[in-house]
């Protein structure tokens, strides 16, 4: 049979190679190519302009703002989500009272699509008629009412809140399954040595979750860099660009302003940033 292995393997992966090759790699290269032209949507005459779009990108204040916001969001979203996910996973592992109900409640946001959760949160955040402020007024806590997504200072943090809310459940699942797959003997040994519950997690469990941490970090980083749906639906990047991120700016430039080439250069920028962070990170985590 061995002589067919290579042929069979090849045939089985052929569709995947063709599809991924076309729609991921070929179009990534195509995207870079477009970013070096002056293509403006419907205008079919295309001229090669070299790095002009990238030079424009460097001096574009909106792009800078979007870049800063993307990083701000990633740098707060990832640690916060991982921390909450880990704590909840540990709480679930402790099997306190009502764990199963708590588990369902906490994992529920994961089953919502971004569109559903964005629409729901838009209603909740609305300063005049929204659930949050209405509830606060009902409890006579008017001083706690906030303008939420309509304020330039708060909009980005509102998005962060929704993001963390939606993703912590996911991180919890990964960590919970990680904790559960740690051999019982390790924990029992720690218990015999007289370790407290805190010590047990601090010195036995958490150090063994390295693999899960790398996986979670990779996926969260990926989502943080290409964040689009929630921002687009919650605030559209506003008010006054306060929550504009690279992906929403790219969409606007490409489809609302018809600057396809300039949009492509923003796409390439996102791609390069992702590569610059992920490649060293993956190499390092492999070595360990």
Shortest Å distance, C-beta 279 to another protein: 26
Least Å distance, CB 215 to another protein, is 20
Comparison of 17 and 141: residue with beta carbon closer to another protein? 17
Min dist CB 43 to another protein, Å, is 8
| Residues facing 37 on adjacent strands | 48
* Region near another protein per CB under 8 A, out of 2-10, 93-101, 168-176, 269-277: 2-10
Q: Which residue has the tokens 């706690």?
A: 144
Residue 11 interacts with another protein (CB under 8 A): yes or no? yes
Region of 41 please: left (phi>0), alpha (psi -120 to 50) or beta.
left
Structure tokens at 112: 């919502």
The span of 99-107, 118-126, 177-185, 191-199 binding another protein (CB under 8 A) equals 118-126
CA distance 163 to 150: 18
Compose the 195-224 pattern: x for residues touching another protein by CB under 8 A, - for all others: ------------------------------
100 burial level (CB within 10 Å; 0-12, 13-18, 19+): exposed
Q: Is 141 in the site for another protein (CB under 8 A)?
A: no
Asked if residue 256 binds another protein (CB under 8 A), the reply is yes
Which of 35, 37, 70, 235 touches another protein (CB under 8 A)? 235
Structural contact between residues 208 and 186, judged by C-beta atoms closer than 8 angstroms: yes
In the complex, the smallest distance separating the C-beta of residue 167 from another protein, rounded to whole angstroms, is 22
> Which one of 170, 176, 223, 232 is in contact with another protein (CB under 8 A)?
232
Which one of 78-86, 165-173, 220-228, 240-248 is the stretch in contact with another protein (CB under 8 A)?
A: 240-248
d(CA 208, CA 19): 37
Give 150's DSSP letter. G
DSSP letter for 207, please.
G
**Residue 280 burial by CB count (10 A; 0-12/13-18/19+): exposed, middle or buried?**
exposed
Which whole-number Å values give the CA distances from 235 to 90, 153, 254, in the listed order?
34, 13, 18
# residues near another protein by CB under 8 A: 39
Of residues 80 and 124, the one with the C-beta less far from another protein: 124
- Under the criterion CB under 8 A, does residue 233 sit at the interface with another protein? yes
Tell me: does residue 148 bind another protein (CB under 8 A): yes
Distances (CA, A) of 213 to 76, 164, 208, 209: 16, 16, 10, 6
The torsion of the CA quartet 239, 157, 68, 64, rounded to 10 degrees, works out to 0
Closer by beta carbon to another protein, 76 or else 146 = 146
β-strand partners of 48 = 37
Identified binder of another protein from the candidate list 85, 130, 169, 178, rule CB under 8 A: 130
236 binds another protein per the rule CB under 8 A: yes
Which residue ranges make up the site for another protein (CB under 8 A)? 2-3, 6-7, 10-11, 14, 18, 41-42, 44, 62, 122, 125-128, 130, 147-152, 232-233, 235-236, 238-242, 252, 255-259
């Amino acid at each position: 049979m061995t002589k067919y292995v290579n042929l069979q393997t090849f045939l089985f992966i052929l569709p995947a190679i063709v599809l991924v090759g076309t729609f991921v790699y070929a179009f990534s290269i195509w995207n870079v190519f477009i970013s070096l032209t002056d293509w403006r949507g419907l205008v079919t005459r295309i001229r090669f302009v070299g790095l002009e779009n990238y030079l424009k990108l460097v001096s574009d204040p909106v792009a800078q703002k979007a870049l800063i916001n993307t990083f701000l969001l990633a740098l707060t979203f990832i640690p916060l989500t991982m921390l909450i996910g880990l704590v909840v996973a540990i709480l679930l592992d402790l099997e306190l009272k009502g764990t199963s109900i708590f588990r369902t409640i906490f994992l529920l946001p994961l089953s919502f699509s971004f569109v559903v959760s964005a629409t729901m949160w838009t209603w909740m955040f609305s300063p005049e008629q929204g659930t949050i402020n209405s509830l606060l007024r009902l409890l006579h806590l008017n001083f706690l009412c906030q303008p939420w997504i309509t304020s330039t200072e708060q909009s980005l943090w509102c998005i962060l809140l929704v993001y963390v809310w939606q993703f912590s459940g996911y991180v919890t699942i990964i960590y919970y399954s990680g904790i559960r797959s740690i051999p019982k003997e390790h924990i029992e040994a720690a218990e015999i040595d007289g370790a407290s519950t805190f010590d047990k997690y601090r010195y036995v469990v958490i150090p063994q979750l390295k693999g899960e941490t790398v996986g979670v970090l990779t996926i969260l980083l990926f989502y943080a860099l290409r964040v689009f749906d929630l921002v687009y639906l919650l605030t559209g990047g506003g008010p006054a660009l306060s929550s504009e991120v690279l992906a929403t700016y790219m969409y606007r430039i490409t489809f609302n302003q018809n600057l396809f080439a300039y949009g492509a250069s923003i796409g390439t920028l996102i791609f390069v940033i992702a590569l610059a962070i992920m490649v060293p990170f993956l190499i390092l985590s492999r070595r360990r």
